[in-house]
Amino acid sequence: MTSLWIKDVRPWGGPATDLHVVDGLFVAAPAGPEAAVVAGGGRIALPALVDAHAHLDKTSWGTPYRPHSAGATLAALIDNERANRGDLGPVRERAGALLDRHIERGVLHVRSHVDVDPTIGLDSVAGVLAAAADRAGQVTVEVVAFPQSGLLTRAGTAELMAEAIDAGAHLIGGLDPAGFDGDPIRHLDTIFGIAADKNAGLDIHLHDRGTLGAWQIERIAERTKAFGLPGRVTIAHCYALSTVDDVRQGSLIELLAAADIALTTTVPGTTPQLPLARLMAAGVRVGLGHDGVRDLWSPYGTGDLLDKALMLAVTSGYRQDADIERTARLATEGGAAVLGLPDYGLEPGCRANLLLLPAESVVEAITQRPVDRTVIAGGVVVS
């Protein structure tokens, strides 16, 4: 039996207390005299950050700076990546470097989309799974087999996605069934078919805005019910929801809630943010993701999910404490609900995955994002 006594911390910025961990789980009873001690010093305790939308295979984290080389369209970005990704070095190393950064900042659960296509096959899936295995016990990684270069438009990809599940991937991905892949019904029927066959969940990129995206949300909701997958489907980005009128937005939210479809946002720079308060009120699960970190798509990203939470708060126009705290909930409990993490939280019985932050309040933790954090995974100090 190993035990840990985390003294004088403030869960969610509330009153100071001690947290006790035995064999990796929080327990209600005080730790015994044999427990190792972490001096909290009045710091805030949050459950581990959850990055609900990452692309670990794409990152150049830990490698030299490269100027951005792509054009501005989605197709140009995808072509640029296929042309240049070979120069980046092994996925296992790059993904591992970013996971190390995640651990340092307290991001202990990650859902990563990983490219699958006929050129790279399952190599990137294997690389990300290996990087995660290298850090077992410190961070958990869910892999989504992602048809970045097209599903219908790139023959052999669907078969590879099914194989990816056999090789250890956890979910089936999708990408703009209409706007990018060109045949929304066939795209959706294909990925839902694979998911049902493999008993896997789905996580679908949907950038298509306005009515085109809204129409696809409705088709996804239909299939979620028809294939018996409520609670196991996520729509990523879902820009359509904030680019249709209020009435349509309300009816889409009802559909999402009824099919228990989760959403993830990565905080777009130039698209209105998701209507978070309305989604929460309807009971829709919403997670926060960092998206690409310093890759062939974008030079941005720090690996610190609190940077994204700040960006979300500012671009949502939040000033009130309760609103800003909502972004911290998304970065933790929201993502945990999207991933379906068992035993998540700071309560007795939960796995002791947490971070301690020197801040007076959760709002201050978001606005200042202090980097000197104590990170504990399974009751062990990992950073």
Interface with a copy of itself by CB under 8 A: which residues?
64-65, 67-68, 70, 72, 269-270, 272, 294, 297-302, 310-311, 313-317, 319-321, 324, 359-361, 363-364, 367-368
In a 3-state reduction of DSSP, which class is residue 317? coil
Nearer to a copy of itself (CB atom), residue 224 or residue 316:
316
Minimum CB–partner distance for residue 297 and a copy of itself (Å): 8
Q: What is the DSSP letter of 272?
A: P
| The two structure tokens encoding residue 342 | 């068992």
| The two structure tokens encoding residue 332 | 């933790």
Task: Please check whether residue 296 is in contact with residue 79, taking contact to mean a CB–CB distance below 8 angstroms.
Answer: no
Minimum CB–partner distance for residue 244 and a copy of itself (Å): 18
Minimum CB–partner distance for residue 154 and a copy of itself (Å): 24
Nearer to a copy of itself (CB atom), residue 112 or residue 316:
316
Task: Please check whether residue 11 is in contact with residue 17, taking contact to mean a CB–CB distance below 8 angstroms.
Answer: yes
In a 3-state reduction of DSSP, which class is residue 372? coil
Minimum CB–partner distance for residue 155 and a copy of itself (Å): 30
Task: Please check whether residue 284 is in contact with residue 255, taking contact to mean a CB–CB distance below 8 angstroms.
Answer: no
Nearer to a copy of itself (CB atom), residue 13 or residue 174:
13
Minimum CB–partner distance for residue 25 and a copy of itself (Å): 32
Minimum CB–partner distance for residue 269 and a copy of itself (Å): 4
Nearer to a copy of itself (CB atom), residue 215 or residue 300:
300
Minimum CB–partner distance for residue 67 and a copy of itself (Å): 5
Task: Please check whether residue 206 is in contact with residue 234, taking contact to mean a CB–CB distance below 8 angstroms.
Answer: no
Distance CA 342, CA 60 (A): 31
Cα–Cα distances in angstroms (integers) from residue 60 to residues 54, 249, 301, 304, in the given order: 13, 37, 11, 15
Q: What are phi and psi of 345, to 5 degrees?
A: 140, -175
Nearer to a copy of itself (CB atom), residue 221 or residue 313:
313
| The two structure tokens encoding residue 319 | 């000033």
Distance CA 31, CA 309 (A): 34
Nearer to a copy of itself (CB atom), residue 302 or residue 383:
302
Nearer to a copy of itself (CB atom), residue 301 or residue 379:
301
Distance CA 222, CA 218 (A): 6
Nearer to a copy of itself (CB atom), residue 38 or residue 312:
312
Nearer to a copy of itself (CB atom), residue 313 or residue 336:
313
In a 3-state reduction of DSSP, which class is residue 380? strand
In a 3-state reduction of DSSP, which class is residue 290? coil
Minimum CB–partner distance for residue 365 and a copy of itself (Å): 10
In a 3-state reduction of DSSP, which class is residue 133? helix
Minimum CB–partner distance for residue 55 and a copy of itself (Å): 15
Strand bridging mode 233-237 / 380-381: unpaired
Query: Tokens 């610190």 label which residue?
Result: 304
